[in-house]
Structure 1
Amino acid sequence: MKARLAASAALALGIAIGGSGCAMITYQATTEKYDPSDGVSADLGTLSIRNMLVVSDDGEEGNMVLSVSNAGSEDATLEIQVAGETVEIDVDAGQTVAPGGADEEPILVERLDAEVGGLVPVFLTTEGAEGREVPVPVLDGRLPEYEDLVP
């Protein structure tokens, strides 16, 4: 009787492990964070910066496009330094702003001096977090979603 009970338990365990496939022991790629669009992302304190990119026709002047969310309970300011220029973006607590987009005021970078298709270094800072440099892609208006964003 004990042998039969042990065999049943072993069979149930084998079915449970086999039914789960390799998911119990295999690396899960879906748990990795990635940028699903053309821009890049960064987290800085309570601020989440998403899909940050620069749109430019000639690499001399560009429009920085991004989305910034503030998950904190206090208002925050994101400071962006690019090509010797500094821009500040205020984000209220619990809110998201998307400067540079089609319905928003553009963030013009007048002395971009970057190659279209390349990367431009952008330094991000906010109060209470360590600043970080992020390589941001420079794209042109060939794609329909960016043609209205070219300065």
Structure 2
Amino acid sequence: MKARVAASVVLALTVAFGTAGCGLIAPQATTKHYDASDGVSGSVGTIDVRNAILVTDASGGTVGSLVVTLVNTGSTAQKVAVTGGDKSGEAAYVTVDAGQTKKVGTDPESTSGNVFFTPFSALPGSLYPVYFQYGDQTGVQLQVPVLDGGLTEYKDLVPPTALPTPTPTPAISETPVPTETPAP
């Protein structure tokens, strides 16, 4: 009789552990970080770079528009320098206030608040190096995917083929001040 009870208990424990054992020894997939969209992510100090992509036209245009979300988890504003390619070009700067989530590149027609790489020769489907850095923090270089407007969600993000050049503000010329001529 005791052998039957013991066998029943062992069988019950075997069934219980057998059906729930996966959760005891296998890692949980929900605890692993992954990029849920087409972009890539990284971190620099208190700045989180999320879902970075570059959008260009289908033929591999001359302009690449960076679309990214920057999240400042710190308590001070940061001025993030963004450079592309071999980092020899001039950096674009994006200021992210403390606790702010800032989306960049969602309006390709605007030249303010966007980051454009020009000249840009990367083709859709390739990866393009983009470097994010601020202050004395060690920056992070991400291999950012280059996409085109082939998908509906990216159609409105394709940059213009030529960026408008800012019109220079005319310099204010000083009018000479008349001087008095001495009386004879």
**TM-score normalized by structure 2?**
0.70
How many corresponding residue pairs?
150
The CA deviation at 1:85 is 3.6
Who is 1:108 aligned against?
Answer: 116
The CA deviation at 1:70 is 0.6
Q: 1:18-53: CA deviations, max 9, x gaps? A: 453311111223221111101111111111111101
The match for 2:139 among 106, 131, 142 is 131
Q: From the CA coordinates, give the structure whose radius of gyration is larger.
A: 2
Who is 1:35 aligned against?
Answer: 35
Q: Where does the alignment leave 5 or more consecutive residues of structure 2 unmatched?
A: 160-184
Who is 1:75 aligned against?
Answer: 77
Q: 1:81-122: CA deviations, max 9, x gaps? A: 113241111111111000101487432212122122101111
- Cα distance 1:9–1:92, how it changes in 2: closer, same or farther (>3 A)? farther
Matched, 1:88 2:93: yes
Structure 1 residue matching 2:139: 3-state secondary structure: strand
Matched, 1:62 2:70: no
Q: Percent identity?
A: 43
The CA deviation at 1:9 is 8.5
Q: Where does the alignment leave 5 or more consecutive residues of structure 1 unmatched?
A: none
Structure 1 residue matching 2:17: 3-state secondary structure: helix
**TM-score normalized by structure 1?**
0.84
Is contact 1:45-1:128 (8 Å) kept? no
- Cα distance 1:10–1:117, how it changes in 2: closer, same or farther (>3 A)? same
Is contact 1:85-1:109 (8 Å) kept? no
Instruction: Provide the C-alpha distance between the structure 1 equivalents of 2:135 and 2:90, rounded to a whole number of angstroms.
Output: 19
Matched, 1:144 2:152: yes
Structure 1 residue matching 2:25: 3-state secondary structure: coil
Who is 2:175 aligned against?
Answer: none
- Cα distance 1:74–1:11, how it changes in 2: closer, same or farther (>3 A)? farther
- Cα distance 1:9–1:136, how it changes in 2: closer, same or farther (>3 A)? same
- Cα distance 1:10–1:76, how it changes in 2: closer, same or farther (>3 A)? farther
Structure 2 residue matching 1:146: 3-state secondary structure: helix
